[in-house]
Amino acid sequence: MRNPVVVVSFAVIGLFAATCAYAERAASIEYDFIDRPANLPEAFNASSGATPRFLAIKAIDGFRVDAALWQPLDKPVAATTLIVGVHGSGGNFSGAPIGSISPLLAAKGYGVLTISTRQHDKLINTDNFVEVRRDIEAAVYTARALGYTTLVLYGHSLGNIQVQYYAANNWEHDIKAVVLSGMFGNLPWKSRNVLVQNEEAFHALSEAALKSLREGQERETLSLQMRRTEGVQEPLTGQHFLSYRTEASSTADGTYWIKRIPRPVLMVRDAADAVIAPFEPYMLLSAATSTGSLVPSIKYVLVPNSKGPNPRGHQFLDNFGPLTDTITAWLAGQRL
């Protein structure tokens, strides 16, 4: 059954005739509950605490945001704290760690709405950073339409900066807290100095991206590829490079946005994370506690992992339980 929910209306124009006046809607956000998508992991099933429901949400610009909703059994929606989860680079709503711990969070009494943003799966490295806010906005307004009145934003890896950006620019009172995991510090700086590590290659990427923008082809894949985690070369679009990767035009810098979030913040890193350097959370911690910061409180938790740095650590694959416990304990301390 279709459940259209109009939650945003822009550019409303009153048209006056001799005897009447009326307005037209220029844009809206809508959602539908849908059947379980095919090819979901078997682990993404009902738990002792909740059964997932699936949604297709239309963002304000028409992009389809697929989502999964976990609501604790026998708990009223209005009395439930809802965690809105945003995945990392090329991930999706069912992936680790947020999708994996959703049933664990629900079993502890928290609702979870995880979404697939416009850089999910094969759309990796194609998006414009500032446009992802529309996907988060669509999820937030859908949550409100469903009756949730207490929201927590949770971003993992690339999703961490997308959540920071949204929280810093949207001060609605029902957004009570922010959770970040696998969080980097300054992505443009990291992209140039840690990932690419080649000034000639970085300059060539910059020129190619600018050329694509000037020719109106910024959404097309560049002929050049960018070196990323573990030295892998990956394709990308001009708009992704310009909005995420270069200091000249990108605003994907957590040290800038985190201190503009007027809500409590929790940061969590797996000690075996081979993607996020140990110093990066401290860049964010320093910014969040600097003079003039809007952050009322911030906590950084390093989850122990005896296996040493490895690719699994970034996704908390050996630490789903401790990650869940860390988040729920902190939320309880915030009375959420």
**What is the Cα–Cα distance from 43 to 25, expressed in whole angstroms?**
41
User: Which pLDDT score, from 0 to 100, does residue 229 have?
Assistant: 75
pLDDT band at 299 (very low <50, low <70, confident <90, very high): very high
pLDDT recorded at residue 2:
52
37 DSSP assignment: P
Domain boundaries, the chain: 39-183+259-333, 189-245
282 Cβ contact list (under 8 Å, min separation 6): 300
pLDDT at 20: 58
How much is the mean pLDDT over the chain?
93
Confidence bin at 14 (pLDDT 50/70/90): very low
Pairwise CA distance, residues 33 & 209, whole Å? 39
Confidence of residue 39 (pLDDT cuts 50, 70, 90): confident
CATH number for the domain whose boundaries are 39-183+259-333: 3.40.50.1820
> Of 154, 177, 142, nearest to 261 (Cα)?
177
Give the mean model confidence (pLDDT) for residues 151-161.
98
* Burial 136-159, CB ≥16 within 10 A → b, else e: bbbbbbbbbbbebebbbbbbbbbb
pLDDT average, residue stretch 298-320: 97
Q: Looking at this protein, which amino acid is placed at residue 110?
A: Y
Mean pLDDT confidence for 97-101 = 96
Residue with tokens 């809802």, as numbered in its chain:
82
Please report the pLDDT score of residue 49 as a whole number.
Answer: 75
Contact predicate 229/124, CB 8 Å: no
Which tokens sit at 99?
């999708």
Please tell me the distance from the alpha carbon of residue 132 to that of residue 291, in angstroms, as a whole number: 29
- Percent of the chain exceeding pLDDT 70 equals 93
Supply the pLDDT for residue 23. Answer: 87
pLDDT at 232: 87
CA 253 centroid distance within chain: 14
